[in-house]
Homo-oligomer: A and B are copies of this chain.
Amino acid sequence: MIDRLIEKIQKTEAPIVVGLDPQMNFIPDRIQEKAFREFGETLEGAAEAVWQFNKGIVDAVCDLVPAVKPQIAMYEQFGVPGLAAFQKTVAYCRQKGLIVIGDIKRGDIGSTSAAYAVGHLGKIRIGEKEYAPFEEDMATVNPYLGTDGVKPFLKVCAEQDKGIFVLVKTSNPSSGEFQDRYIAVPEAEDGPASIFLKDPAGLSEIMDNVHFRPLYEVVGEKVAEWAAEPSLTGKYGYSEVGAVVGATYPEMGAVLRKIMPRSYILVPGYGAQGGTGKDLTAFFNEDGLGAIVNSSRGIIAAWTKEPYAEKYGADHYADAARAAVLDMKEDIRQALG
């Protein structure tokens, strides 16, 4: 799937993902009113409004970008009907030729992660039949539980030509609370530092054999290890195992870009969260590949904000999204030079 993503990025000349994270206040009144007339002020009505809104956005941007990233939480909040709208959105986007990155941030112990991997990227066998329940092309994965929780995703990626992006350094303000903590890392796996790891009081004796790195680098190194698996490497040298690194932390992005040479970096945090075009250069390799930048609110809610609000307004929310994508494409083009 990473090869297809790269080819679509090259064709559209847009290393851009449109985040389909619809909140009710992004959805024009007339779409909400129509959905509520048909389904009432119910979870079904809200889900219908989300779906119709998404359809408009997708129709307006599908020729401009390689991929979309629906954030499943925004659908899950509307319960089962919301998740049906998620599934319908995934299927519609794929039908339009877009690569769908499910922003699911799942991660659990092995047998449970296997269920998530199958449900979102794989196929489940029921009796004599097989089904692809949500059928995203790629998905985000939370690494807190370690290799156990990631391996089932790797297996599905290899078998079904899918990809993942592992959370390494997230874009939110408090991401540093744990992710930036300095970790004592032994120089050699079996060196004296391994004693230290069992007995931190012995640190002073082995000081020369330990160095200190933030947790996100340690996670990044593990991602690089997962990504190195040959069966997951595509023809352009990139792996099906990518990483999430926030645009809001460009210095860390530059370090992580080097630590994970085979991983595509999915970069959230551009636009509404504060990341700018200039911040993005650190995430790309010199050939212009290696990163794909997400914008959600900046595109799907463009019609609510200047400079798009006055020109487009609620009735032309999809055209506003298209204009915002074109502006973002230009911003990134200029930044990458």
Contacts and interface: CB of A to CB of B under 8 A. Distances in A.
Q: How many copies does the complex hold?
A: 2
A154 to B, nearest CB: 13
Interface string A165-200: 001001111111111111111000000000011001
Contact of A149 (B24, B174, B197): B174
A160 to B, nearest CB: 14
A194 B173 CA distance: 18
A143 interface: yes
A31 interface: no
A148 interface: yes
Contacts of A82: 119, 133
A64 interface: no
B177 A147 contact: yes
Given A149-B172, A181-B218, A80 B76 contact: no
B170 A184 contact: no
Given A119-B78, A133-B79, A110 B172 contact: yes
Interface range for A: 35 or more
Interface of A: 21, 23-24, 36, 41-43, 45-46, 71, 73-74, 76-80, 82-84, 87, 105-113, 115-116, 118-120, 124, 126-129, 131, 133-134, 142-149, 167, 170-185, 196-197, 200, 203-204, 207, 211-213, 215, 218-219, 222
Given A73-B112, A126-B46, A212-B184, A146 B174 contact: yes
A84 to B, nearest CB: 5
B145 A175 contact: yes
A79 B134 contact: yes
A28 B113 CA distance: 24
Nearest to A219: B178
A73 B115 contact: yes
Nearest to A131: B43
A181 B76 contact: no
Given A21-B112, A80-B83, A145-B170, 18 more contacts: A36-B127, A43-B131, A71-B115, A73-B106, A76-B116, A78-B119, A80-B80, A105-B108, A145-B167, A146-B177, A178-B215, A178-B218, A178-B219, A178-B222, A180-B197, A182-B196, A200-B213, A204-B207
B78 A124 contact: yes
A112 B272 CA distance: 14
A71 B109 CA distance: 11
A131 B42 contact: yes
Contacts of A144: 142-144, 167, 170, 178-179
5 residue pairs, one from A and one from B, having the closest CB atoms? A79-B133, A146-B174, A146-B177, A41-B127, A77-B119
B212 A179 contact: no
Contacts of A110: 172
A83 to B, nearest CB: 5
A120 B106 CA distance: 15
A275 B148 CA distance: 18
Contacts of A41: 126-129
